[in-house]
Amino acid sequence: MNIESKLRRASLIIALGLLLQFLSLLPLHPLAFIAFVGLGVPIMGVGVIFFLLSLVTHSESGGK
C-alpha cells in the first residue's frame, strides 16, 4: 500500500471514531459514556496508530 492510501485509511478510521465520540455526547443516556470509551476512543486510537505506523514505514522506504 502506498503512503497516500495508508493515510486515507488512517484518516477514515479516525473520522469514524470521532463521529462516534460526537454522537455519544448528544443524548443524556447511561450508555453514552460506555459508547465513548468502548467504541469512539479505541476506534480513533487504532486510526492514530495506523497514522503513526505509516510515518515510520514511509521514512524507512523514503531513504532509498
Q: Which residues bind another protein (CB under 8 A)?
A: 3-4, 7-8, 10-12, 14-15, 17-19, 21-22, 24-25, 28-34, 36-37, 40-41, 44, 47-48, 51-52, 58
Q: Which DSSP category does 50 fall into?
A: H
The secondary structure of residue 39, as a DSSP letter, is I
Quick one: CA torsion of 22, 25, 31, 36, rounded to 10 degrees? 40
Q: How far is the CB of 63 from another protein (least distance, A)?
A: 15
- Cell numbers at 46, concatenated: 487504532
Nearer to another protein, 4 or 60 (CB): 4
Residue 47 or 60 having the CB closest to another protein: 47
